Amino acid sequence: MNGEERQKFREFVAARTPALMRTAYLLAGNQHDAEDLLQNALTRTAARFSSIRHTDPEAYVRRVMYREQISWWRRFTRRRESPTHPMPDRPAADPSTGTDLRVVVGEALRQLTPRQRTVLVLRYFEDLPEQQVAELMNCSVGTVRSQTARAMARFRAVAPELGAPARQGTEVRR
């Protein structure tokens, strides 16, 4: 990478890191793993930046993150530890709007398996079609549909306080 390309890569990283970090956090489930995931993706992107710079480098970084995350959960599925009890000390509630919702959603996402979390992030946060999610996860569209349904069922089970979406013309039961 020459000096001009290095500068363009630095500008790209400076401009897009916050958005990419949010996606990495949702995929990984915690700050430390998200930082590692993004760093690995940016390292791989830097090596090929001159050839991808003219297309869409952000899409390339996101694809690398998705594939890296899938590799991680395939590799470490059996080795991961999960807490069986909630942490005893919880921070005080933030009075700003939406914080409680973000906390509930974050806790619910952390209780999903990495594969379930990945399929929900790709489908609903990234708003990717099932076909593209299937390609990224290297599985069939039917598998994406079934994994999405299972992940949503689990998500609703671990976060019942979010409630079911109201259907037009029906009452929401509580």
* 82 inside domain: no
Q: pTM of the prediction?
A: 0.54
Overall domain count for the chain: 2
* 88 inside domain: no
- Interaxial angle between packed helices 130-137 and 141-158, expressed in degrees from 0 to 180 and rounded to the nearest 10: 100
* 86 inside domain: no
Tens digit of each residue's pLDDT, the chain (174 residues): 688 888 988 999 999 999 999 999 999 888 999 999 999 999 999 988 888 866 788 899 999 999 988 887 666 655 556 666 666 566 665 566 677 788 888 888 889 999 999 999 999 989 999 999 999 999 999 999 999 999 999 999 998 887 765 554 444 443
* 7 inside domain: yes
Nearest alpha carbon to residue 113 among 144, 57, 51, 70:
70
Q: What's the confidence (pLDDT) of residue 95?
A: 63
SS3 112: coil
* 2 inside domain: yes
Q: What's the confidence (pLDDT) of residue 69?
A: 86
- Interaxial angle between packed helices 3-28 and 57-76, expressed in degrees from 0 to 180 and rounded to the nearest 10: 40
Q: Is residue 69 located within the same domain as residue 137? A: no
Task: Kindly report the CATH number assigned to the domain that includes residue 125.
Answer: 1.10.10.10
Q: Is residue 71 located within the same domain as residue 4? A: yes
Q: Is residue 70 located within the same domain as residue 142? A: no
Q: How far apart are CA 76 and CA 49, in angstroms?
A: 29
Q: What's the confidence (pLDDT) of residue 172?
A: 43
Q: Is residue 67 located within the same domain as residue 2? A: yes
Q: Is residue 6 located within the same domain as residue 59? A: yes
Q: How far apart are CA 133 and CA 10, in angstroms?
A: 29
For residue 127, the enclosing domain spans: 98-163
Q: Last residue of a domain, which of 47, 77, 107?
A: 77
